[in-house]
Amino acid sequence: MSKRNLWYLLGSLALLALLLGACQPAEPEIQQVEVTREVQVEVEVPVEVEVPVEVQVPEFPEGTSIHIVQWSHFVPQYDIWFDPFLEAWGDANGVEATVDHVGIPDTTAALTASIDAGEGPTMVEVLFAPSAFVNGVQDLTDVNEQAQALWGEQAASCANSSYLPAVDKWYGFCHSWIPDPADYDSALWADAGYPNGPETWRDLLEGGKAIKDKTGVPLGIGLSPELDSRMAGRALIWSYGGSIQDENENVVIDSPEVVEAVEFMAELFNNAMTEEVFAWTPASNNQGLIAGELSYILNSISAYRSLQKIDPAAADNIGFGPALIGPRGDQAASAHVWGIYVIPSYVEGAELEAAKAFLLHLTANANQAVFNSELYNFPAFPSTVPQLEGWVNKDPFGSRPQDKLALLADALNWTVYLGFPGPANPATGEVFGASIIPNMMGKAALGELSAAEAVCEAHAQIEDIFQKWRDDGLVGGEASPDCAVG
Amino acid sequence: MSVETVRPSRFRLLSDNERLLGAMMLAPAVLFILALVGLPLLISIAFSLSDVTVGDTSLDYVGLENFRRVIRTPQFQRAVINTFIFTTAALLIILVLANILAVLFTQDFRGKWLARILVILPWATPTSLGTLGWLWLLDSKFSPIDYVLVQIGLLGPDTLLGPGLHLNYLGREYLAMGSVVLVHVWRLVPLSAVILLAGLTSIDQELIDQAQVDGASGLRTHLQIKLPLITPIMAIASLFAFILIFTDLVVVFVLTRGGPIYFTQVLSMWSYNKGIEGGALAEGAAIALFFAPVLLVAAILILRTVRRIEVT
């Protein structure tokens, strides 16, 4: 190596070292959690759990196969369990059963492309009510009714995310839903006078402001065009007694309750958050909480499960709370996501019957699914997992205290669904995808529009979307073009 | 003496017929363009005039209803404005930087090979990967840029850039817009610089020598001799950069998803939001078709410029 090249090499290494040095995150300015116990995490190895109901499976002709496309689960153990579970069912029933795991956005894209092409996978699992696909998928009324007959009532959050009343069709089969509790920094909130975390939105504002003023640590309720922000905005509106549509699918976002909720979000942003919430990604709240730089987020338990594995002491400091209560006592939050299988219309014959049989088999074994998701998934049919209450009261995955997740036992009482109190119809799906709610709140928070103006702007867009789907016969209700709070 | 008539082979006939041969040689390219550009364009037009959705691909004619619907939304209006702002701002910066780099690379200096590699890297890196890197660099909480600014005393309490420890690049309107422009500049300067470098190196050295003998300075030689000569090449570089920025989805998708609010919303992102995420394929197609007239003009300009280069 020539002397000149040696200098270049040394220079490059020095530059690399400088860059790596600069990549160290700044020291978070927060109170450190005092850990007095010995740090030790004991995560039990997932075990086979008892199968509560045997499902009769018909015989399939030779050569029958099913191919499933579903998301790569946030909890890797779920996929590790699911793949051989599917294969074993296929082997036992003479069906060649295969699965492809893809990223979350690719599930919808795969379904769209398959329906358009008229060929593709047997089933696609999507995470949000795929009601816009209702005309391109099989009617699953029979399998839904069969499941209800076997296991009783289905969680309302699931039923309303797989049935479309406008066309009286079960377009999907929802086998699970994921609770979306609050995750908070216990030490910070205890210090602010809330040892059990905030219970109401007012608590969140007052406690969050106190924490930010004292420690500089903000709240993390997203106001960005992404999933968590869309969920958070809806939870606030519902807890203030408002909604996007009523139970008859009329647009009712132009209500004083929604204006009040938007005003509250502006107050919350200005007192307890920073502009980072406008740059939120689905990973932001997880990252912020794990780094100790957010005092409160709304999310599933997946971030906490990750933290348990990488920093058990910090995980001990995470507390969980139910949906926050609004000024008139309303309490509601959307499920985080749902596990909803749909079968495109091109799937017929033995392949269709095999797919339906597998759906029932999966539901019958929901306790394995819940356990292997490390209690991330909750069952659509509560009777299929009688162990659930015991698990959340004594977390088999090492929570300290053991009953940290106990609040999830009654999560069904405060968990609703996109479209609540009406069905999750295609219009609510498009409103969700277009991020109209977080943008409405964001405009008021930044002072671009008053709360009433922001609501009226959103009302005009939402009304337009609803009317379009009404024209297609997929949404009920009647047009109400004038904004009632303008 | 008998004259034997030699019948030309079919291959000879074919190879002597320029029109037929030309058509045959062009056919694969034409078929390729028709299949991958023409057909999707026709499908987009059909979608935009119908009520197609992700779940119902039957095409029922609705006239211009989708266009009327999308035009009146504030997101669309903002997306149109932003698309032009980002394209224009990035293009101007790219031209200046690419010129500087191209001139620099015509000179001899130590470490030129390393500098060339470093400059070309952004172009060689997949856009999505490069933008992910920027997403991390501009992160609200973990930005290394913020860290450096804090360490050198420009960010933090009682400093020039304010009391906070984070600038929240992607959470503030103008910083977010600037970030999008920055990433476009970062990824496209190499392409433009290489195109301009090719133009500069093709200039007849005698012209430069004559100017220098006449006493022209380096700057004057560049502005009055080199720049006019490479103007057609620069036009090509500009048009390519224009098209790549104008139609790009990846940078905004990865960096801001159109936020904060709609401040970085662009046509391609809004088309994806409506068509794929919202399930309204027809409206998504209608939004995407607003690219067509602008791209048509750009294509005509490129072709005319190329022809001019060929003639001169």
Note whether B153 contacts A: Cβ–Cβ < 8 A: no
**Chain position carrying tokens 């790009």:** B248
Distance from CA of B142 to the nearest CA of A (A): 5
On whether both A231 and A278 belong to a single domain, the answer is yes
Of A23, A457, A464, the CB nearest to B144: A23
Question: How much is the pLDDT for A47?
Answer: 47
| Cβ–Cβ < 8 Å for A385, A368 | no
Q: Where are the domains of chain B?
A: 73-268+291-311
Q: Bigger pLDDT: A179 or B55?
A: A179
Distance from CA of B119 to the nearest CA of A (A): 15
- Beta strands A65-71; A123-126: pairing state: parallel
pLDDT surpasses 60 at A361: yes
Residues of chain A in contact with residue B171, where contact means CB-CB under 8 angstroms, are 274-279
Kindly report, residue by residue over B120-152, the tens digit of the pLDDT.
Answer: 889 888 999 999 999 999 998 899 999 999 999
pLDDT band, very low/low/confident/very high, at A26 (cuts 50, 70, 90) = very low
pLDDT surpasses 80 at A51: no
Distance CA A349, CA A356 (A): 11
pLDDT band, very low/low/confident/very high, at A41 (cuts 50, 70, 90) = very low
Question: How much is the pLDDT for A28?
Answer: 32
On whether both A312 and A196 belong to a single domain, the answer is yes
CA closest to B165 among chain A residues: A26
CB contact under 8 A, B171 and A12: no
Question: How much is the pLDDT for A104?
Answer: 85
On whether both A273 and A330 belong to a single domain, the answer is yes
pLDDT band, very low/low/confident/very high, at A306 (cuts 50, 70, 90) = confident
pLDDT surpasses 90 at A289: no
Distance from CA of B247 to the nearest CA of A (A): 20
Looking at every residue in chain B, the average pLDDT score rounds to 89
Structural domain harbouring A204: 182-334+418-471
Number of domains in chain A: 2
Kindly report, residue by residue over A84-104, the tens digit of the pLDDT.
Answer: 999 999 999 999 999 999 988
CA closest to A6 among chain B residues: B111
- Chains A, B: CB pairs < 8 Å: 149
Picking from B39, B141, B159 by the largest number of A CB atoms within 10 A of its own CB, the best residue to mutate is: B141
pLDDT surpasses 80 at B8: no
CB contact under 8 A, B168 and A136: no
On whether both A188 and A166 belong to a single domain, the answer is no
On whether both A222 and A296 belong to a single domain, the answer is yes
Question: Is A52 inside any structural domain?
Answer: no
Question: Is A383 inside any structural domain?
Answer: yes
Residue A289: how many other CB atoms lie within 10 Å? 24
Distance CA A159, CA A412 (A): 13
How many degrees, rounded to 5, is the angle at CA A31 between CA A27 and CA A35? Answer: 105
CATH architecture of B73-268+291-311: Orthogonal Bundle (1.10)
Which residues between 42 and 101 in chain B have a beta carbon less than 8 angstroms from any beta carbon of chain A?
51, 53-57, 69, 72-75
Out of A28-37, A150-159, A306-315, B48-57, least confident range: A28-37
On whether both A220 and A330 belong to a single domain, the answer is yes
On whether both A78 and A118 belong to a single domain, the answer is yes
Q: ipTM, 2 decimals? A: 0.79
On whether both A78 and A169 belong to a single domain, the answer is yes
On whether both A320 and A382 belong to a single domain, the answer is no
Residues of chain B in contact with residue A226, where contact means CB-CB under 8 angstroms, are 257, 259
Question: Is A196 inside any structural domain?
Answer: yes
On whether both A305 and A390 belong to a single domain, the answer is no
Question: Is A232 inside any structural domain?
Answer: yes
Kindly report, residue by residue over B243-302, the tens digit of the pLDDT.
Answer: 999 999 999 999 999 989 999 999 999 999 888 888 889 999 999 999 989 888 888 888
Question: Is A323 inside any structural domain?
Answer: yes
pLDDT surpasses 70 at A39: no
CB contact under 8 A, A109 and B276: yes
Kindly report, residue by residue over A161-195, the tens digit of the pLDDT.
Answer: 999 999 999 999 999 999 999 999 999 999 999 99
Query: Averaging pLDDT over each range in A64-68, A70-74, A291-295, which range is the top one?
Result: A64-68
Question: Is A17 inside any structural domain?
Answer: no
On whether both A435 and A318 belong to a single domain, the answer is yes
Phi, psi of A66 (to 5 degrees): -130, 145
CB contact under 8 A, A279 and B256: yes
Of B53, B141, B262, the CB nearest to A287: B141
CB contact under 8 A, A276 and B51: no
Question: Is A26 inside any structural domain?
Answer: no
Kindly report, residue by residue over A188-206, the tens digit of the pLDDT.
Answer: 999 999 999 999 999 999 9
Which of A399, A419, A408, A420 has the alpha carbon at shortest distance from A465? A419
CB contact under 8 A, B169 and A25: no
CB contact under 8 A, A137 and B168: no
Distance CA B252, CA B79 (A): 11
Distance from CA of B30 to the nearest CA of A (A): 25
CB contact under 8 A, B54 and A224: no
Q: What CATH number is associated with residue A257? A: 3.40.190.10
Of A22, A276, A426, the CB nearest to B279: A426
Question: How much is the pLDDT for B7?
Answer: 67
Work out the average pLDDT over B30-53.
Answer: 92
Distance from CA of A316 to the nearest CA of B (A): 23
pLDDT band, very low/low/confident/very high, at A303 (cuts 50, 70, 90) = confident
Of A132, A446, A461, the CB nearest to B53: A132
Question: Is A284 inside any structural domain?
Answer: yes
State which of A360, A376, A408 marks the end of a domain: A408
Phi, psi of A242 (to 5 degrees): -105, 180
CB contact under 8 A, B166 and A274: yes
Residues of chain A in contact with residue B159, where contact means CB-CB under 8 angstroms, are none
Distance CA A77, CA A99 (A): 15
Note whether B172 contacts A: Cβ–Cβ < 8 A: yes
